[in-house]
A and B are shown apart, each in its own frame.
Chain A
Amino acid sequence: MTAAIPTPTTAPPPEERRRRAPLRGRLGDQAFAWALLAPAFVVLIAFTHYPIIRSAWSSAHSRRGDLSAVQYETLVNDPVFWQVLRNNLWFALGTVPTSMALAILMAVWVNGKLRGKGFVRLAYFTPTILPMVAVASIWLFFFSPGVGPINGLLGAVGLPTRNWLGDPDTVLPALMVMMIWKQAGFFMIFYLAGLQNMSPELEEASTLEGASRWYHFRRVTFPLLMPTTLFVFVVAVTDAFKIIDHLFIMTGGGPNNASNLLLFYIYDTAFTFFDPNYAGALTMALVVILGLAAVIQFTVLERRVHYR
């Protein structure tokens, strides 16, 4: 708004200022601000807000096109929906804490004085560079009965082999292992950045005071990493609900929906069953879940985070 307050030296005569400032100046600034925001707005509205509104609108209609709550009635009574939701919660619970803990561990390790740490960092980060579809293909081979190396290894040490992806008891844990392998290196990068920002005097002070390394990590390093932890946590939780590429390659949600996740079910409903209205209702459920997760993360957890 600085342009609206002309400095005395360039100020026009009083009458003219009264005319120009509100019209050209203020209006022009408004238009200019909107113009700057417009590209972002257009993209955001076209690809985020409009689709959400469309989903909500179509979820409020029956397949014949009249306004009704029948989709939500179906949703509540759909056993597959509840199973998929349960699967997704287990998937998040199984992958998020483990991959975050591993990420911190790896970050602390490669942050220290270590021979060939560049190589180790790269090794940890490699799974992240690979596209999900490639990762899924590799792990499909790992898990496959007969030729897969996992069963080969188990067989070699005399343990019973399994059809990992063909058994409803093992399919979801098998997918979690792959997800952790893929994600931990990615989160490590954030923690590594956090550690690199930490001043070395803190550690020197701890050493002088005679604090153990574990005590130093627990009382100094970890609290100072809280902003990173919050960020990584938000990303990890969203990813657990968002990443489904591997299901296309590895299981197709099977056997009998044992590995089906919410987003994959939405895709199936919309594009295999061609039921956009019910897919809309499922989408609204996903939006609500992710919204709730965000609210909890940012209100409850943010209070525990100390920003410097």
Chain B
Amino acid sequence: MSARPRTLALAAALSSGALVLAACGGDDGGSGDGTAELTMYYPVAVGGPLTDVVDDLIATCTEQHEGITVEAVYSGTYADTMTKAQTASRSDQGPDLAVLLTTDLYTLIDNGLIVPLSDVDDDLSWTEDRFYPAYLASGEAEGELWSLPFQRSTIVQYHNKEIYEQAGLDPEAPPTTWAELEEQAKTIQDEGAAEYGVEIPSTQFGNWMFQAMAIQSGVADTAGVDGIASYLDDPASVEALEWWKGMADDGLMPSGTTEWASTPDDFLAGRTGIMWHTTGNLTNVKSNADFEFGVSMLPANTQPGSPTGGGNLYIFDRGDEGTREAAYTIAQCLTEPEMAAEWSMESGYVATGPEAWETDTMAQYAEEFPQAAVARDQLEVAVGETTTHENGRVSQAINDSIAAVLTGQAEPQDALTQLQSDIDGILAQYQG
């Protein structure tokens, strides 16, 4: 054997080792002299070519702020984005700025991934003018503000006006109470206008829908107090779940669980007269419905109400003052009234503050398409979405219990008592 193959083999061995090392190493942009290269992660949770819109918004902001460049990384769903931000941050490759669910707040704080905004800016009073208090509240924890409202939503009620006419109902009078909802859903079915009277999705964000019903039944503190949720075994919560299950038992809505993603499809296909869904779907329904549809506030049991939802902009802890300040500047720019107005019109998310609604383009849009303003009006009775430590586990537990009840595996009272004790167990280490 000659020396050449040996040398080659050794070289191959060395280079394969080097490859692994190279994959573990990293590089990083950003510095403190006014210029910064930022990475921003953002999810798209609603339909449509929204990545182009985000790129446009970012381009406007980087033009206004010279020296800052932003690499906007579309990172899948909210859950995917959270996973990527977490794992990348662990290997010090994380984003400087990210749009993540407001409910991830405590998880991000507990893992030491984000910085409170007061670290970057001493005077945050401008936020009170720019954002609705209901939206701003979901960025607050431990006496600090941690995030800026960006793509926010609430749950609204959509109804198909053609189906209403077929059923002999007044298409301009959607239900405002639970009793009316049941009545109208029954009429729709009895008249054969649609297969189902109403659909309320119970997978993925079933916990969100359930929170809406709990709020409407008068349950207090559904948003959680200091990252602890304790409303689930409240008698009014049990009543809410019994009502939900009852509508499925009566056949007003599909039996078993109802898919989050297929509910808008069913509505668009005319299989259901009414649906509860996020305002994030407004643009999707608007462009795909071949019938007149109405949007209204969710009905009341003892009071009206809906949780808020959606994502905020978080500044990540990358240990570099300059990068943080640049990220904050961009976040501030992305939430400016004109930007918020454009983002709202393109996506269907609710513009995050009164100033955005007062811009000319938004005012005109709301006049032509009054459905868009329903979510804004509902904000007066809106409550922050349930936000706890260990948010992934807690919301999964709530979803599992809802599914157990809707599929007939458990009774509402037993399921919710068990659920609250499970959640107490999960959150025990954060109590007191």
User: Which residues of A pack against B, CB within 8 Å?
Assistant: 3, 28, 31-32, 34-36, 38-39, 42-43, 46, 144-147, 163, 165-168, 252, 254-258, 268, 271-275
Contact = CB atoms under 8 A, between A and B. Distances in A.
B66 to A, nearest CB: 37
Given A32-B6, A38-B12, A254 B403 contact: yes
A276 to B, nearest CB: 9
Contact of A268 (B12, B203, B396): B396
A170 to B, nearest CB: 9
Given A163-B255, A255-B256, A272-B83, A38 B13 contact: yes
B20 interface: yes
Interface string B231-250: 00000000000000000000
B12 A252 contact: no
A163 B6 CA distance: 64
A63 B9 CA distance: 44
Contacts of B257: 163, 166, 254-255
Chain B contact residues: helix, strand, loop or mixed: helix
Contacts of B417: none
Interface of B: 1, 6, 9-10, 12-13, 16-17, 20, 79, 83, 86-87, 107, 111, 195, 202-204, 254-259, 262, 265-266, 269, 271, 390, 392-393, 396, 399-401, 403-404, 406-407, 409
A137 to B, nearest CB: 11
A163 B254 contact: yes
Given A32-B9, A146-B195, A274-B111, A38 B16 contact: yes
Given A38-B9, A163-B254, 12 more contacts: A35-B10, A35-B13, A38-B12, A166-B407, A254-B403, A255-B202, A255-B256, A256-B403, A268-B392, A272-B83, A273-B392, A275-B393
Contacts of A3: 1
Given A163-B254, A167-B256, A268-B396, A252 B10 contact: no
B16 A254 contact: no
Contacts of A147: 265, 269, 271
Nearest to B400: A256
13 contacts: A38-B9, A38-B17, A42-B16, A42-B20, A145-B254, A166-B258, A167-B255, A254-B399, A255-B202, A255-B257, A256-B409, A273-B392, A273-B393
Nearest to B401: A256
Given A254-B203, A256-B409, A273-B396, A146 B266 contact: yes
